[in-house]
Amino acid sequence: MKTNALIKKINKAIPEAKAVPMADWDGSDDGIWFRGSEDYVEADGRLIFSGGSDVHPKLEKILDDAGWFAEPYDSGTLMAYN
């Protein structure tokens, strides 16, 4: 799935993720940055990302289904790549 289509899908399903192109982070064009990495999903009170490899299961499924994967940049910042 193309980056912009995936960003739209994520933001529709989990608006708290605040997914944007990686270009908004560092000017590169190779992934997705989750500006809401440390925010809670209102529907279930779980964090989008809580460090290590603990990614919200709904987000993880969306990424997996699209052939993408989540990767922490640091303990509070989550990125996704295909």
Residues of the domain holding 69: 3-81
Q: State how far the Cα of 37 lies from the Cα of 47, in Å rounded to an integer.
A: 8
Could you list the pLDDT tens digit for every one of the 82 residues in the chain? 899 999 999 999 999 999 999 999 999 888 999 999 999 999 999 999 988 779 999 999 999 999 999 999 998 999 999 9
SS3 1: coil
Number of folded domains in the chain?
1
Q: Which residues pair with 72 in a beta bridge?
A: 78
H or E stretch covering 54: none
